[in-house]
Structure 1
Amino acid sequence: MAVFHITDFGAVGDGAADNTHAIASAIEACEQAGGGTVYVPAGNYITGPIVLKSRMTLYVEAGATLRFHTRFDGYPAVPTRWSGYECYGYSPLIYGKDIQKVAIKGEGIIEGQGEAWWEAYREIRRGGSAPESSVRHELMVLNQALAESVKSNIVEWDSQFLRPPLLQLIGCEQVVLEGVTLQNSPFWNTHLVYCDHVNVRGVTFKNPSTTPNGDGFDVDSCSNVRISDCHFDVGDDCLCLKAGIDEDGRRVGRPTENVAVTNCTMLHGHGGVVMGSETSGGIRRVVISNCIFIGTDRGIRVKTNRQRGGGVEDIRINNIFMQDVLCPLAINGFYKHGVDESNPMMTTSEAVPVWEGTPVIKNIYISDILAKNCLASAGFIYGLPEAPIENVVLRHMTLETTLDPEEKGGEPDMVREERVMAGEGMLCKHVKGLELHQVTIETRQGPALLLENVSDADVDGLRMRTRHPATPVIRVKETQRLRLPVNGESAEAGYAVYV
């Protein structure tokens, strides 16, 4: 295939010249030739938005930086999916829609210069004015009907300052991302929507810990996705699987499915591998293996709520090391962020009627996990009273909480009850079908395992090496059909404590 050097089209890598037109010209020539490689040699290239085309590879050489300018009006309104809603938004810095056989490769850097976007957003949050922008005014017209109905991210929807991702591909097939570093995104770093057959290898996703909504990689209603040998160091979720939000997500009805994640490292942020909270189209058939999470607040995280619908099912996770996380495993059907506070159904902890917004979480299999110095709890599995989490199997796990007496811990996950824990065990509430086999849980305080409103639980080989005075290993409340290896007998509990 032909190679199109952007310098042959007038690009200058001096860190000052605007190369938007030169890069667009190279891409146009590549498209007219039937495809090829648009080559970015070593240098510092300032540019505006880049629109990718079919049968094209954007190759960023080692020593090359694509640095996007911060003139907000330089990013025109385009169709997007923003935080789960189909709408219009500022153009992503790199954008592709309905294209095939597209790749971004190399060992160079793609720099979003997100600080200007972050500071504008923070000013709006402080009660200041949104930046003057003709694009923003256009978005207020294009998104008017939707903005009036949205109940979450109100600051963004009211202002229509919908910060763009660094890279977004929508409706694309045969996508390859390989080798590059993507950093300092205005919003989410990399966002793939409605894509099929995606292969991501050896990519680095970086955002500062202070980045608002600084997710690393969001896979949104995509199928057949392979992610391997990547490194994440971000300010929000490292890798997040999504499938649209609430009524709009259910209308689209497109799941994220057939996803394999392996050999990745995750640092900082709010979660290592996260599913949700946008679960409305469904997330299913996901395998996660051979990963390391350090300081990621939560390790494996599933989050959804009564507005979302859809759900998460058929998940397999194995061979994960974690350290300095708040909670290594959080599965939460009662996620509180972004709910309509005026809707009693969304705020009550009592059972409500099942409807299309009721999410289903089931068939979660997790094995061979070592988590050290967990600051809040050893695990948190929290369903809805009207829709318990179903069929969770935990095998060969060692979960060690902090021993630091000064550690204050925090919320193992965000639920309506705002539970704060510190160096405590695994809490399971509203669960139907729970198995623990050869699981070791060490706590600073309290029992290893707390079961509340759990039915059909098998606990075999639970170990707690360090016991606390007058404290049971397992505490049980309102739980039926709990089977323990005590003389081969089962134990029934309405309200009881087991030592």
Structure 2
Amino acid sequence: MNNWFKAAAVLGLMVCSSGLSAQQLPVIQQTSFKKDSSYITKFGAIADGQTLNTQAINAAIDACNKKGGGVVVIPAGLWLTGPVVLKSNVNLHLKKGALLQFTKDFNQYQLVEGNWEGIPQMRNQSPVSATNATNIAITGFGVIDGGGEAWRQVRKEKLTESQWKKWISAGGVVSADGNSWYPSEQWLQATKMKNAGEITPDKSPEFYKSIKDYLRPNLIVITKCKKVLLEGVTFQNSAAWCLHPLMSEDLTVKNVTVKNPWFAQNGDGIDVESCNRVLIENSSFDVGDDGLCMKSGRDEAGRKRGMPTENVIIRDCKVYHAHGGFVIGSEMSGGARNIWVNNCTFIGTDIGLRFKTTRGRGGIVENIYINDITMIDIPGEAILFDMYYMSVDPVALAGEKRELPKVETLPVTDATPQFKNFVVKNVVCNGAAKGIFIRGIPEMHVKNVHLENMKLQADKGIDCQEASGITFKNISILSKETNPVVDIINSDHLTFDKLTYSKNSELLFRVAGDRTRNINIQNTDASKAREKIQFEFGASEQNVSTK
């Protein structure tokens, strides 16, 4: 921990305003189990890949819980099962060579009241779940497979022609436009409804049954639990999100591997939602949506819950394919705060550091400290703050057209989201579409962000819109497009200290907008650019000072 404390101390320059010292990292309480072991084979489980072992595994867990806890052991072998429910003081341990395969028979999964994308929804029971449990774990060296291919929609654009033909030949239905495959007709029909699974008084049990196939379960759902450990196991092939701790405390995730196909819709790695005191370390993620993601509920439901995700440490993790490496949002209506991210590597993630929200969410995201991040081959932005999130893939598919959002100023309400007090230091990115993109909304800028010590190689440089109090210190932006290197629109109190850039750049700064002011440029050699500053749309030289 000593090296981590040193790294955290580096991030302390903005912490004083929050009242939380960088050395005051959260202490996560750990699990502890009796050494008593119970093998699932003693309860009738058979590792033939054909026998459904749901009853045997749950019986082993129940017996272990009733005698005060211990370890339930899954030996090497292929174990077919339906949903498993963890209970207090039980460590579900997978031996080397153990593959826990969840059945693709939807009838084995009951409809239950759950939570999906931040609001109460009816869902199929998760393959592994726990509710109101204390001192629980999933550990070992085996694999937990959710059988997700039976549940997920697949978009034609994400497969090769031969893959697509093979996929649709296996059954299911194809949309009228021929662009999407669905597991069943009821799945397809549910997509035409708004929030079909949302729990509302007007919906009957029969209605939910009529769209059951559509209500995909998350692989591991831990709800309102205390002292949770996930260690060593490979979690893969989820129908939706892989790991979903919800409203839980003292969660430790270490040395795990999380895998979903890259084309898996909503195939997130881990979504930490409204949790307190979390440690995620030495783990790898290769998934179809966001990798390491922090959430806290959506819109009014999230604000009413009022439970931020807070006091989180993430360190020494790798993220391969994902929509974002480390992500906050977009369902962050309960807020997120006091989060430390250190020594992580993003390899081919669509976006590296991704902070997303939109009007209607509300919630405050603050006191986020990020240090020592390495990225390569990022198709989108290396660092992104976006308050116009549009619920689409971060990188447009071939032929997909997207329009820019309409810019208008709206009143500030409790539904207005906020991003403020971020420190991001020591970032190297070799290859991205854009180095840094910051886009707030007119009534609520992205505020108080300190970016320092970065070397970013990208197609485009820095784009800063509707932002206040942003510091760019010792940033090297090596962009292919250099007209401009830095684009500023309707932002204020920006400081560029020791900015370096590609030689023979056409234009160093474009400063635009009649609300742009207090732009400070210092310790920056502008002689390598053919033109230093261009002013547009109401901005003028009075708005910029140079030293």
Measured against the shorter chain, the TM-score band is 0.7 to 0.9
Take 1:119 and 1:327, find their aligned partners in 2: how far apart are those partners?
A: 27
Q: 2:199 aligns with which of 121, 131, 143?
A: 143
- Classify 1:97/1:443 alpha carbon distance in 2 versus 1 (closer, same or farther; 3 Å): same
What is residue 295 of structure 2 aligned with on the other side?
A: 242
- Classify 1:492/1:275 alpha carbon distance in 2 versus 1 (closer, same or farther; 3 Å): same
Which residues in structure 2 correspond to 1:77-96 (within 5 Å)? Answer: 77-96=111-130
Take 1:481 and 1:357, find their aligned partners in 2: how far apart are those partners?
A: 29
Q: CA deviation at 1:143?
A: 2.6
Structure 2 length-normalised TM: 0.79
Take 1:182 and 1:53, find their aligned partners in 2: how far apart are those partners?
A: 19
Q: 2:503 aligns with which of 463, 466, 491?
A: 466
Please state if 1:476 is matched with 2:511.
yes
Take 1:47 and 1:214, find their aligned partners in 2: how far apart are those partners?
A: 21
- Classify 1:314/1:492 alpha carbon distance in 2 versus 1 (closer, same or farther; 3 Å): farther
Q: CA deviation at 1:129?
A: 1.5
Q: Could you report, residue by residue, the CA deviation over 1:345-404 in whole angstroms, capped at 9, with x for unpaired residues?
A: x96411111111100110011000000111x21111100011001001110001101xxx
Q: 1:429 aligns with which of 465, 483, 489?
A: 465
Would you say the 8 A contact 1:5–1:40 is kept in 2?
Answer: yes
Please state if 1:354 is matched with 2:412.
yes
Number of equivalenced pairs = 454
Please state if 1:109 is matched with 2:127.
no
Q: Could you report, residue by residue, the CA deviation over 1:412-459 in whole angstroms, capped at 9, with x for unpaired residues?
A: xxxxxxxxxxx1111010001010111000111123221111101111
- Classify 1:364/1:87 alpha carbon distance in 2 versus 1 (closer, same or farther; 3 Å): same
Structure 1 length-normalised TM: 0.86
Would you say the 8 A contact 2:479–2:502 is kept in 1?
Answer: no
The residue type equivalent to 2:185 in the other structure is S
Take 1:75 and 1:13, find their aligned partners in 2: how far apart are those partners?
A: 21
Take 1:464 and 1:350, find their aligned partners in 2: how far apart are those partners?
A: 33
Please state if 1:24 is matched with 2:58.
yes
Q: Could you report, residue by residue, the CA deviation over 1:124-153 in whole angstroms, capped at 9, with x for unpaired residues?
A: 782662269xxxxxx9898344889xxxxx
Q: 2:480 aligns with which of 437, 440, 444?
A: 444
Q: CA deviation at 1:229?
A: 0.1
Q: 1:65 aligns with which of 90, 93, 99?
A: 99
What is residue 396 of structure 1 aligned with on the other side?
A: 453
Would you say the 8 A contact 2:323–2:350 is kept in 1?
Answer: yes
Would you say the 8 A contact 1:475–1:496 is kept in 2?
Answer: no
Which residues in structure 2 correspond to 1:205-216 (within 5 Å)? Answer: 205-216=258-269
Take 1:51 and 1:116, find their aligned partners in 2: how far apart are those partners?
A: 21
Take 1:373 and 1:80, find their aligned partners in 2: how far apart are those partners?
A: 40
What's the secondary structure of 2:500's corresponding residue? coil
- Classify 1:157/1:353 alpha carbon distance in 2 versus 1 (closer, same or farther; 3 Å): farther
- Identity of aligned pairs, percent? 37
Would you say the 8 A contact 2:252–2:280 is kept in 1?
Answer: yes
Would you say the 8 A contact 1:65–1:111 is kept in 2?
Answer: yes
The residue type equivalent to 1:443 in the other structure is S
Take 1:9 and 1:71, find their aligned partners in 2: how far apart are those partners?
A: 22
- Classify 1:290/1:225 alpha carbon distance in 2 versus 1 (closer, same or farther; 3 Å): same
Q: CA deviation at 1:337?
A: 1.9
Deviation >4 Å, runs of 4+:
119-125, 139-142, 155-160, 491-494, 496-499
Q: Could you report, residue by residue, the CA deviation over 1:40-91 in whole angstroms, capped at 9, with x for unpaired residues?
A: 0000000000000001100011100100001112111223111111233110
Q: CA deviation at 1:245?
A: 0.2
Q: Which blocks of at least 5 consecutive residues in structure 1 are unaligned?
A: 133-138, 149-154, 339-345, 402-422
What's the secondary structure of 1:385's corresponding residue? coil
Q: Is the deviation greater in 82-91 or in 360-369?
A: 82-91
What is residue 381 of structure 2 aligned with on the other side?
A: 327
What is residue 39 of structure 1 aligned with on the other side?
A: 73
Q: CA deviation at 1:475?
A: 1.6
- Classify 1:92/1:68 alpha carbon distance in 2 versus 1 (closer, same or farther; 3 Å): same
Please state if 1:126 is matched with 2:126.
no
The residue type equivalent to 1:467 in the other structure is N
Q: 1:15 aligns with which of 49, 53, 73?
A: 49
Would you say the 8 A contact 1:482–1:492 is kept in 2?
Answer: no
Q: Could you report, residue by residue, the CA deviation over 1:169-214 in whole angstroms, capped at 9, with x for unpaired residues?
A: 0000000000000000001111010010111110100001111110
Which residues in structure 2 correspond to 1:42-57 (within 5 Å)? Answer: 42-57=76-91
The alignment yields a C-alpha RMSD, in angstroms, of 2.8
Which residues in structure 2 correspond to 1:194-273 (within 5 Å)? Answer: 194-273=247-326
The residue type equivalent to 1:118 in the other structure is R
Take 1:130 and 1:351, find their aligned partners in 2: how far apart are those partners?
A: 41
Q: 1:303 aligns with which of 352, 356, 360?
A: 356
What's the secondary structure of 2:272's corresponding residue? strand
Q: Could you report, residue by residue, the CA deviation over 1:278-311 in whole angstroms, capped at 9, with x for unpaired residues?
A: 0100011111110100110100000001010003
Would you say the 8 A contact 2:468–2:493 is kept in 1?
Answer: yes
- Classify 1:286/1:477 alpha carbon distance in 2 versus 1 (closer, same or farther; 3 Å): same
What is residue 404 of structure 1 aligned with on the other side?
A: none
Take 1:118 and 1:487, find their aligned partners in 2: how far apart are those partners?
A: 51
Q: CA deviation at 1:472?
A: 1.6
Take 1:398 and 1:190, find their aligned partners in 2: how far apart are those partners?
A: 33
Would you say the 8 A contact 1:124–1:130 is kept in 2?
Answer: no
What is residue 214 of structure 2 aligned with on the other side?
A: 161
- Classify 1:175/1:392 alpha carbon distance in 2 versus 1 (closer, same or farther; 3 Å): same
The residue type equivalent to 2:509 in the other structure is I
The residue type equivalent to 2:292 in the other structure is L
What's the secondary structure of 1:250's corresponding residue? helix
What is residue 495 of structure 1 aligned with on the other side?
A: 539
Would you say the 8 A contact 2:151–2:213 is kept in 1?
Answer: no
Q: CA deviation at 1:495?
A: 2.1
Would you say the 8 A contact 1:120–1:130 is kept in 2?
Answer: no
Take 2:118 and 2:198, find their aligned partners in 1: how far apart are those partners?
A: 17
Take 2:70 and 2:311, find their aligned partners in 1: how far apart are those partners?
A: 29
Q: CA deviation at 1:24?
A: 1.1
What is residue 313 of structure 1 aligned with on the other side?
A: 366
Take 1:225 and 1:467, find their aligned partners in 2: how far apart are those partners?
A: 47
